[in-house]
């Protein structure tokens, strides 16, 4: 068991089921259970490495954060998302983060307004 284990730890190790969208050696992406658009997935690193939120990022996290971004591009291609998408990383309570495990929302399939929220 991991200290400060979250829902996402349990999803990564298969104890909680999820609908996989993408997976490689470093990244796991799955459909959001409360989608805000026709396509909405969460992209997470398989190993959190202390990265509970973007505010905890250090130089040591540079590679995994890059892999999360590249995964979004791969997912867009695989899902035939050709008209654009939005990526969102909520950070901290005021930023709307509800799970203390770095994760990126990928939202697509409809026009998305600005400002969000």
Please list the active-site residues: 103
Nearest to 51 by CA among 114, 42, 59: 59
Tell me the C-alpha distance between 72 and 12, whole Å.
Answer: 17
The single residue listed with the structure tokens 């829902």 is 7
Tell me the C-alpha distance between 11 and 45, whole Å.
Answer: 11
CB-CB contact of 49 with 43 (8 Å):
no
């Amino acid at each position: 068991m991991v200290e400060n284990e979250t829902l996402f730890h349990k999803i990564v190790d298969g104890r909680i089921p999820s609908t996989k969208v993408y997976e490689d050696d470093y990244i796991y992406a799955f459909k959001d259970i409360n989608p805000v658009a026709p396509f909405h997935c969460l992209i997470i690193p398989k190993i959190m490495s202390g990265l509970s939120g973007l505010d905890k990022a250090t130089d040591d996290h540079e590679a995994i954060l890059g892999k999360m971004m590249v995964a979004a591009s791969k997912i867009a291609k695989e899902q035939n998302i050709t008209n654009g998408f939005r990526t969102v990383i909520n950070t901290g309570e005021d930023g709307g983060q509800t799970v203390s495990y770095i994760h990126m929302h990928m939202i697509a399939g409809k026009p998305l307004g600005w400002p969000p929220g």
